[in-house]
Amino acid sequence: MTAKQRPNILLIAIDSLRADHLSGYGYPRLTTPHLDHFAEQCVVFDNTFSAHIPTTSAYASMLTGMDCFNTQVVALRHQGDLRPEVKTMAEVLRDFGYNTTCVGFTGNPSARGFDKYLDYPAWGSWNEGRSPKAGKLNEVTIPELDRLIDDDKPFFVMLRHMDPHAPYLPPDPFERMFYHGNESDPANKSMEPVMSFKPFRDFFATWMPPGISDKDYVIAQYDGAIAYMDSCLQTIFETLAARGILDETIVVVNGDHGETLYDHECWFDHHGMYDNVLHVPLMIRYPSKLPQGVRIKGYNQHKDLMPTILELAGIDQSEIQWASDLRFNGESLLPMIRGEVASHESSFYITECTWMRKHGWRTPEWKLIIALEPDFHFKPEIELYNLIADPGENYNLAPERPDVVAHLRACMEAWIAKRVAETELENPMLTQGDWHGKKGVGAFKTSQQAYDTLHIGDPNNAARLQAESRADGDKKPKKEKAQKATAKKTTKKKEGAAS
């Protein structure tokens, strides 16, 4: 197959999108009517998991077809470039004659190899007003799509959408699409623990309304941001259709990880290895090779996406100019779609290195979470959840079921030993040093140390915005002194929150 005959590829990668907040995945609010309609023309995967949290490590798997042992990427603040032995999707497709453009992901280690990088305003604050992130993405993307369509080469475009990532600031009318009430009702105390959480509260105060008291308003902003993004995605789909290339384009919609919102006291972020963060949507449209309106129950992970896209594009792995002897850990999803296999790995290694450093083992029935150092939420070292009896992961069974803990730990350690032997590299979860960005601190010795050390946000701005409603005191009785802002705080806020 010549380059001219190959399909275009559009990867719509959405940050912080938990699957259970899409109406097409069973959410009672109609958050994604356009994506729901689009899904009717797609293969939709019900059990796609982000095994390596957060963004940096998730995309490392998505864009290389490899796990964290091959990429050696597990931390949000990954130090250095992606290993030269690893080849990215952009690099492979460029070798096969594709024009490649990346929108909204400049500078990430796994974004290596694109011909062109475009950016757009993807953040926001209360002072700046409502943040039409997806609309701004469209402003730079649609002219680029028109340019690429006019070329005689196929294109690979990756879009990184940020609407579901905090700050959640959807424009009108999406702000109140899912909320009718008084978000500052003094009788509502649901936001008190959120605004008492010292590491994050100053960041929250830069974008949540002054006097915020109702958690449901903030959740409605997240849902409204998804709904707004959904409406903007329709504009992208219409662009491809109007130019007559929609059916000639492999279109993928995938989340990098989910979002905690109010769950597990991991307030409105995406750390922790609970399923609200691990479970992400995946849908693929390419009518010449894929059925439409089909849902797949089998398990899959980010590492399976690149082999799938390449097979759909007619690129045989034997033809790839590999950078080393490393090959995909992931497997194409096409055998699953064709019914030749029921599932890929249903038991797998999970990691997180965002605001906590933990790893674990997930099966269809159980999840084991083991802390590699104390965390700033003062959570127990070992957590065990029965995902069938307790899908919300609210009841830690570790003290009651040491037998299950021992069995899952043995499975995890055997798998780690296997991958260490195969790669001749250490488990990257054990080599992160100052993974939290605090130079010279190393691993935290206590949860109190982690709680007192980790912080995002602009304290001066937060004090002004939140003076009327800031809760007194910290989670722990230890008092804090007023913190002085520095000229670098805004940069630190963006680096810390971009997970």
415 in a structural domain: no
Q: How does DSSP assign 124-152, residue by residue?
A: --TTT----HHHHHHHHHHHHHHHHHHSS
For 11, the enclosing helix (H) or strand (E) is strand 8-14
Percent of the chain whose pLDDT exceeds 70: 91
Contact present, 158 and 13 (Cβ < 8 Å) = yes
Is 178 in contact with 223 (CB distance < 8 Å)? yes
pLDDT of res. 1:
63
Q: What is the pLDDT of residue 417?
A: 97
d(CA 211, CA 209): 6
- Note whether residue 481 is domain-resident: no
Residue 232 lies in a domain: yes
Which residues of the chain fall below pLDDT 50?
459, 461-498
Q: What is the pLDDT of residue 237?
A: 98
Is residue 391 a contact partner of residue 275, using CB atoms and an 8 Å limit? yes
User: Is 39 domain-assigned?
Assistant: yes
Residue 485 pLDDT: 34
**Rounded Cα gap, residues 226 and 230, in angstroms:** 6
- What interhelical angle do 215-242 and 133-150 show, nearest 10? 20
Q: What average pLDDT does the structure give for the chain?
A: 91
Q: Is residue 412 part of a domain?
A: no
Instruction: Specify the CATH number for the domain of residue 91.
Output: 3.40.720.10
Domain presence at residue 491: no
Check residue 456 and give its pLDDT.
84
CA-based Rg of the chain, rounded to a whole angstrom? 22
Distance, in Å, from the CA atom of 224 to the CA atom of 278, rounded to the nearest integer, reads 21
| Predicted local confidence at residue 433, as pLDDT | 85
- Model confidence over 102-119: pLDDT tens digits? 999 998 999 999 999 999
Q: Over the stretch 220-235, which tens digit does the pLDDT of each residue have?
A: 999 999 999 999 999 9
Residue 338 lies in a domain: yes
Please state the separation of Cα 174 from the chain's center in Å.
22
Q: Which residue carries 């390596």 as its tokens? A: 52
3-class DSSP string for 287-314: CCCCCCCEEEEEEEEHHHHHHHHHHHCC
Domain encompassing residue 180: 3-185+216-345
Evaluate whether residue 422 is within a structural domain: no
Domain count, the chain: 1
**So what's the pLDDT on residue 128?**
87
